[in-house]
Structure 1
Amino acid sequence: MKLIRNLLIVGVAFLSNGCTDFLAPTSLSTFDTTLIFSNVDDARKATNNIYRQFGEDGYRTRLSITMQGNSDVDVSGDRTSDKFNNMIITLRALSNNDDLNKAWVSAYASIKDCNVVIDGIKASAAYNSNDAGVKAEMRQYIGEAYTMRAFWYSELVYNWGDVPFPTAAPKAGVDFDLPKTDRNEILSAVIQDLIDAESGMKWADQLPQACQQINREYTLGMIARLSLQRAGYYLKPDMTKAVASAADRTKYYTLAKEYCQKLMTLKDRPLPADFAQVFKNQCENIYPSNSDMLFEVPFAITTGEVGYNVGMRIAGGSHPYGTGAHDYAMPLSYFYSFDIKDKRRDATCGLYNLDKDLIPSIVSSTDIAQAKWSKAYCNPPLGSASAKGTGINWPMMRYADVLLMFAEAENELNGPTGPAKDALKRVRQRAFANEDWSTKVDAYVNNLSGKAAFFNAIVDEKAWEFGGELNRKHDLIRWGNYEEIMQKTVNTLKALGDESAVNSPTATHANYIYWRVDNKKITVYSGVLNSNTPPPNYVAATGADSNGNTLPLVNGWNRSNWTNNLYSTTTNTYNNIIDLKLSPYLVPVIRYIQPIPISAIDNSKLLKNDGYGFN
């Protein structure tokens, strides 16, 4: 049973007060924390409450989806729309944006819940109990709270820069109207919290919810992830980019390497050979320990948008899966960036939609889906009436990222050493068949000469490995190459459009995509990556039979526009994916920082939207 399902049922009353006012504590304590944290069972129930905000709209739709775009691997938004989500994605949000407010409120509500747990456990006798079992449980609980709090502060810093930094539970008579704290101070503090807590935590295979519960693996990985964030670039209120000092970069890259290495030493595990199954597990309610997935958000049925707003498009019908779609599309430039033999491409880039009868058809080249999740993968099916609230979990960290963070940190400190190359090779080995390892893995990695080349390879590898998981923007921000990468994406899309306009038979990319359906399975002709040459013995499709099979049954192929969707020779214009979605990112400095919600400002004497062009 999923952890979040348990905690939502428990509904710990003393912690379930709404957070309608920014950081507003209750005027008087309505519960006795001394009693609650005096025993393991009640402390567990209180700790469950820190997961509550994952089930709220502020996280499940706003922070985890809307606020993660755009990047070179996932694109959404419409610069002509005044919907709150489009305003955020196209960098035009105002302080009255309710989606921003929901994310902000969820962040501080969860932080408040974490602070209650941290303060309550630290003050309890059970925390230093002579009973080793009780002491171990309490250290696990406080570790979960520290890690959850660190996660939310990381997101606040990425999206709002300097923010208030409460680290104590609400107490009567204490002023919680706090000013902003420097983002570097926040990150340094929460990193130290995790360093202090991780050794007392339990591995996923020691916990009842395994990877659905914050565990020691995830906390070790978070130390590395936060350290890289602390060492990286960020946007200042005057709209200039800053980066950590040389001394801090060395310190925090060293920490990132050290804690990746600690996990790799204490709890190494092979990456599962089947890349696609890592994500299908989430649709099939399979939650393995000691595998790739370190921690995933444990969405309960009726919560979560995975498979509905993130995943493959499926039309509602009499079938048992319900409807599904996606808010973000994979740009064609990303699809073509994959090596043709990379197995992650087809597991990541969904090239078909399902109609009401589950008959597949090819997608538009400007609407490639996140193939890692589909309601059609769900076992058991969610039901014909299902829409949102799929209960499909959302990945928070995978072991592949630990390997790549280690490779990145080692390269930054010492260049592309043997250990850095070995870590990169481990990730690439899963992507290719064994017979291709000598060229696609060993030769590829061994030929990376110098720190810059190896860094660029990490940038590429993380795109291929994590496409659709909506974590790319954060990496681009901390690397300081956000603007460069977005401009490169647009240039590549334009080049594909220009190539299609020539319509040459020797083109290296295909104007048209050829596909057919047999027994409700789609086959896409492999030449999609190569040229405009049709399949052998090509016969234009004459339609489909009553079961959706392409006619003629043997050699019939449907032909659909592909790269030529990107440029109109009639109007001499590029597809509006560039104008409506990507054009706001074609600026000297991307203003990814969002305005503080007006409700937070109204409830504070100290906060205002100063800087970033908001004032």
Structure 2
Amino acid sequence: MKRNLSFTFIIAAFCTLGCNKQLNTIPKDFISPVNYYQTEGQLNNALNGVYDPLGLESMYANGLLTYLSYGNDEGVWRASGQVTGPMVYNYDPSEANINNLWTAAYTGIGRANLLLDNIDKATAVATATRDVILAQALFLRAYYYFVLADNWGGVPLRLTAAQSAEDVDLPATPVADVYKQVVKDMETAEALLPTAEQWGPNSGGRVSKNTAAGILARVYLTMAGSPVNDKARYADALKWSKKVIDMGFNQLNADYSQVFINHCQDKYDVKESMWEVEFYGVKADAYNEVGYVGNRNGIASNNIDFPGYGYAFLYATSKLYKSYESRINATTKVEFSPDERRDWVVSPYTWNDATKTKTFLAVTATYDRFPGKWRRDLETNLPRNKNYSGVNFPLLRYSDVLLMFAEAENEINGPTVAALNALNQVRRRAYGKLKAGATNVTEADLTGLDKTTFFNAINAERMRELAFECLRNHDLKRWGLLQSTLKEFAADIKLNAPANRKFTAIIGDNIQDRHLFYPIPSREISLNKAIKQNQGW
């Protein structure tokens, strides 16, 4: 995607030199906090460095995209011989992907702390300009802590830059207190940030006031659920999701598939896709800001030029495919889904490598399908690279905000008209009822639900709407349903899946109570003498 931010951050190096009297001058080209953070350009370079970890392979370029967000009941690991790793709940504190995510998050935090500690040195920069930069750094630091708390629970909470390489002994702060700091920083940032409309139409990679409010709703819903279980936070989730809605700027794209086509074709739609991790280029150019979106979480292919190479690490599950409504055309007797999401989220075809054409799957082939949200044949940034793509990845969409509002409203007030309206907006778009000329626009609306059945509808709708956006495990954990859901899923696999797909039941066989949180990485345990290992590890 087009870069709004050029990630060219200069990391200051600190060293002590033994010198004689002839070598005691201060070098004019040495960059450190003493002589940096002076100009708007320097502040923006530092801010770019704070954004940068989002696009690292250890975060959304690969780690969170594949290894660390699956398997679950929407996506399972494709390799039958894969019996170790986080995707099959068989790992230990030395697991590289877990270590790398921890390091990436703390890298972002460290860079944010450096910028926040030094931003007031830029006295020649207008206060309003500094405030917007400060707000983004503060929000991003909070977001990295949110990732850490969501995955590890209590973690060391460092709010200023480390003073030396030996400054590493820091105990874990209880998870509830980490979240309190997260929302404090995010709310401070939200008050200072421009709106998405003020940022402009190509600003999906920047944090806006709209995005901050939407992510705050996500954080508060997390706090309301397991393991914090602070039910009073549902009111805060409702407040912040409602604020996004009441701004009146964000709206659903009438065509669900177009949201993801836009990602593939370097187009922004900040009304729907509110915040994205920005990737750009084909690795062989000067940008070097690429990820694996559509490659490792897409449709298998061995052709680089067309449709584009697909490692396809994941299968979409039969459960996900069958969760979308299915009907039989009365005239043709052909099965179809009136829910337009099904055949976009779960690919209805595979690629014939010999002919470079699509082979459409039989309706009964529910265990042989790939995720289809991001399709490499739609990429416009050419020539394609075998391993990488420049396709952006969404961190927050407006449909998620509507579903969070509906969930919070139901928890506080039950399935009110407002809750049903938010849920049904998402469903109407799914059934094509927001498109020009649509008829029978209330066809897909849900009605007559009580509080429990409304929650169950939210559970199912979030999986259908947000599949492969790295939110399913997060949702199941905060609902306290991760282990039970995966064990039920595994039981169904053993009973109903064909023999060559029964291996996917491994996730239900392996998952235990301890998998609610990752283990503290071995490297952190060895360096930080004040931290203790998470329970069960």
1:345 corresponds to which of 342, 346, 356: 342
Give the AA of the match of 2:217: A
SS in 2 for 1:253: helix
For the Cα contact (< 8 Å) 2:213–2:244, is it kept in 1?
yes
**Shift of residue 424 of structure 1?**
0.8
Unaligned runs of 5+ in 1: 18-29, 235-242, 498-565, 569-573
2:20 aligns with: none
1:272 corresponds to which of 246, 253, 265: 253
Q: Measured at CA, do residues 13 and 433 of structure 1 come closer, stay the same or move farther in structure 2, by a change above 3 Å?
A: closer
In structure 2, what is the Cα distance between the partners aligned to 1:40 and 1:106?
A: 26
1:203 aligns with: 195
User: Which shifted more, 148-157 or 271-280?
Assistant: 148-157
SS in 1 for 2:535: coil
Q: Measured at CA, do residues 358 and 581 of structure 1 come closer, stay the same or move farther in structure 2, by a change above 3 Å?
A: farther
2:272 aligns with: 292
Q: Measured at CA, do residues 273 and 16 of structure 1 come closer, stay the same or move farther in structure 2, by a change above 3 Å?
A: farther
Task: Confirm or deny that 1:478 pairs with 2:465.
Answer: no
Task: Confirm or deny that 1:461 pairs with 2:461.
Answer: yes
Task: Confirm or deny that 1:12 pairs with 2:5.
Answer: no
Tell me the alpha carbon deviations over residues 463-501 of structure 1, each in whole angstroms, 9 at most, x when there is no partner.
110112221100110011223322343354456x2xxxx
1:249 aligns with: 231
2:297 corresponds to which of 274, 292, 310: 310
Give the AA of the match of 1:382: P
1:140 corresponds to which of 132, 155, 163: 132
- Aligned counterparts, 1:56-95, within 5 A: 56-59=56-59, 60-76=61-77, 81=82, 86-95=84-93
In structure 1, what is the Cα distance between the partners aligned to 2:116 and 2:427?
A: 40
Q: Measured at CA, do residues 166 and 116 of structure 1 come closer, stay the same or move farther in structure 2, by a change above 3 Å?
A: same
- Aligned counterparts, 1:92-491, within 5 A: 92-121=90-119, 124-125=122-123, 134-172=126-164, 175-207=167-199, 209-234=202-227, 243-244=228-229, 248-250=230-232, 252-289=233-270, 291-301=271-281, 302=283, 303-316=290-303, 319-340=305-326, 341-356=338-353, 357-362=355-360, 365-383=366-384, 386-434=385-433, 435-441=439-445, 444=446, 446-448=447-449, 450-491=450-491
Percent of pairs identical after alignment?
27
With a CA cutoff of 8 Å and minimum separation of 6, indicate the structure with the bigger relative contact order. Answer: 2
Tell me the alpha carbon deviations over residues 561-598 of structure 1, each in whole angstroms, 9 at most, x when there is no partner.
xxxxx245xxxxx842443444324x5x4623222222
Unaligned runs of 5+ in 2: 16-29, 284-289, 327-337, 434-438
Q: What is the CA RMSD across the aligned residues, in angstroms?
A: 2.5
In structure 1, what is the Cα distance between the partners aligned to 2:343 and 2:383?
A: 24
Tell me the alpha carbon deviations over residues 237-295 of structure 1, each in whole angstroms, 9 at most, x when there is no partner.
xxxxxx42xxx311x11111111111111243331111001011111000123x21000
Q: How many residues in Structure 1 have an aligned counterpart in Structure 2?
A: 494
User: Which shifted more, 140-149 or 411-420?
Assistant: 140-149
TM-score, with structure 1 as normaliser: 0.75
For the Cα contact (< 8 Å) 1:2–1:212, is it kept in 2?
no
TM-score, with structure 2 as normaliser: 0.86
Q: Which structure has the larger Rg?
A: 1
In structure 1, what is the Cα distance between the partners aligned to 2:403 and 2:388?
A: 32
SS in 1 for 2:75: coil
Give the AA of the match of 1:203: T
1:518 aligns with: none
User: Which shifted more, 71-80 or 53-62?
Assistant: 71-80
For the Cα contact (< 8 Å) 2:9–2:46, is it kept in 1?
no
**Shift of residue 173 of structure 1?**
9.0
1:511 aligns with: none
Give the AA of the match of 1:307: G
User: Which shifted more, 370-379 or 592-601?
Assistant: 592-601
In structure 2, what is the Cα distance between the partners aligned to 1:108 and 1:193?
A: 16
Q: Measured at CA, do residues 602 and 13 of structure 1 come closer, stay the same or move farther in structure 2, by a change above 3 Å?
A: same
In structure 1, what is the Cα distance between the partners aligned to 2:483 and 2:11?
A: 46
For the Cα contact (< 8 Å) 2:5–2:48, is it kept in 1?
no
In structure 1, what is the Cα distance between the partners aligned to 2:79 and 2:517?
A: 18
SS in 1 for 2:350: strand
Q: Measured at CA, do residues 39 and 282 of structure 1 come closer, stay the same or move farther in structure 2, by a change above 3 Å?
A: same
Give the AA of the match of 2:505: D
Give the AA of the match of 2:218: R
